[in-house]
Each structure stands twice: as structure tokens, then as C-alpha cells.
Amino acid sequence: MKSHSSTLVLAFNAISMIIFFLLLSYSVQVEASRPLGGSTFESIKSSIIAQAYSGPSRRGSGH
């Protein structure tokens, strides 16, 4: 009886490892398929504008 349960545990561990490696390989493929897009002037300009608007607001500083 003990050998049957140890075989079952071994099979479960093997299946779990196979599923883990399949998911790992899929996530690596998804990461590699993303385009790396170069920095264009528009993206730099939009990031500067976003940074300017993301700072703390100074309400009433000029009044």
C-alpha cells in the first residue's frame, strides 16, 4: 500500500514540474515578443509633460 501512495506522490510531483516549466517557457515567450520601440521625440516630450504635471501642486504660490 505504501508503494502505491509514493508512486502517486511521485507522479503528482512530476506533473506539477512539467506544468511549471510549460508556464515558465510561455511567460518567457510572451516577454520576448513585446516590441522594444525606440525613444522618439514625441515619447520624450510626452514623458516630460507627464512629469511636469505629476509633481505636487503649489496652490496659491503666486498669489
For residue range 4-52, what is the model confidence (pLDDT) as tens digits?
889 999 999 999 999 999 998 888 776 666 565 555 566 777 777 776 6
User: Is residue 58 domain-resident?
Assistant: no
| Residue-level pLDDT at 14 | 96
Domain that includes residue 27, residue range: 2-53
* Cα angle 33, 39, 41; round to 5: 145
CB-facing half-sphere around the CA of 7: CA atoms within 13 A: 4
Predicted local distance difference test score (pLDDT) of residue 13: 96
What pLDDT is stored for residue 21 in this prediction? Answer: 93
pLDDT, position 33:
61
- Asked, for residue 19, whether it belongs to a domain, the answer is yes
pTM: 0.43
43 CB contacts (<8 Å, ≥6 apart)?
37
C-alpha cell at 1: 500500500
6 inside domain: yes
Q: Give the residue ranges of DSSP H helices in 1-63.
A: 2-32, 41-54
Number of domains present in the structure of the chain: 1
